[in-house]
Amino acid sequence: MMRNIQNRKFPVFFISKSITVCFALFLLIGCKSKTDWRDNYNKNKTSKSTVSKKITDKPRDLAGISELLDVNEKDLKNKALYHFIIDWYGTPYKFGGTTEKGIDCSGFANILYKEIYNIQLPRTSKDIANNVKRKFTKNLEEGDLVFFSFGKSGTVNHVGVYLHNNKFVHASTSKGVIISNLSEPYYGDYLIKCGSYKN
């Protein structure tokens, strides 16, 4: 027995396609808002204006930190944060490490947040990222967190603490605790989330 579907104003297949299209647009818009910085980054990453000197030498004082960050020393709001960074700068990387003999990225973020902000973070970078309120990179402030996904999984597996002018401090696998630049392709290409920790 044939059913009469001629009187339907909106066929089922049309509705399902509309829902699918709306869902796809939602995902695209959502992803765009999370990575607003990437357009300018891709446009400018090879220009001279974004190419900065390699940050390798350990800063000895706040003046050295301000030079690395390209800011006036008076713009370093939390002096304790920068003294902490100077003390830990160059500490070698060690997976699972939490001491000055060796430390990993989330271990470093944990100790920094505990000592400087009196906040206990989760132990892994992925879990830390789950408790972060997203921000656009242009709105990042000193002490905010930046997250990366190295590899094809798309899962957060690295974390750093934002400072100034696209610079952030983190425990890198190759150089240990160091200040790096989001404008460097190695980091900019893999930045997937950033924002402030929801205390």
Question: What's the CATH code of the domain at 110?
Answer: 3.90.1720.10
- Please check the confidence at residue 177 and state whether its pLDDT lies above 60: yes
Per-residue pLDDT at 109: 98
Residue 75 lies in a domain: yes
For 112, the domain range is 37-197
Mean pLDDT in residue range 65-80: 94
How many structural domains does the chain have? 1
**Range 128-132 contact pairs with CB under 8 angstroms and sequence separation of 24 or more:** 128/159, 128/197, 129/156, 129/159, 129/193, 131/197, 131/198, 132/193, 132/194, 132/195, 132/196, 132/197, 132/198
List 22, 83, 170, 194, catalytic entry: 170
- Please check the confidence at residue 95 and state whether its pLDDT lies above 90: yes
- Please check the confidence at residue 38 and state whether its pLDDT lies above 60: no
**Residue 15 pLDDT grade (very low, low, confident, very high; cuts 50, 70, 90):** very low
List 83, 158, 164, 194, catalytic entry: 158
**Residue 16 pLDDT grade (very low, low, confident, very high; cuts 50, 70, 90):** low
Question: From start to end of 16-166, where are the E strands?
Answer: 98-99, 102-103, 132-134, 145-148, 158-162
Angle between helices 105-117 and 79-88 (to 10 degrees): 140
Residue 184 lies in a domain: yes
Per the annotation, the verdict on 170 as an active-site residue is yes
Q: What is the pTM of this model?
A: 0.74
Residue 92 lies in a domain: yes
Per the annotation, the verdict on 158 as an active-site residue is yes
Q: How far apart are CA 187 and CA 189, in angstroms?
A: 5
For the chain, state the CA radius of gyration.
Answer: 22
Residue 8 lies in a domain: no
Angle between helices 79-88 and 62-69 (to 10 degrees): 90
Per-residue pLDDT at 48: 41
Q: What are the tens digits of pLDDT across the range 126-141? A: 999 999 999 999 999 9
DSSP 3-state assignment of 131?
A: coil
Residue 25 lies in a domain: no
Residue 61 lies in a domain: yes
β-strand 145-148 against 191-197: which pairing, if any?
antiparallel
List 22, 31, 83, 105, catalytic entry: 105
Mean pLDDT in residue range 138-145: 96
The residue to which tokens 């000197």 are assigned: 53
- Please check the confidence at residue 58 and state whether its pLDDT lies above 80: yes
- Please check the confidence at residue 166 and state whether its pLDDT lies above 80: yes
Residue 31 lies in a domain: no
> In residues, how long is the chain?
199
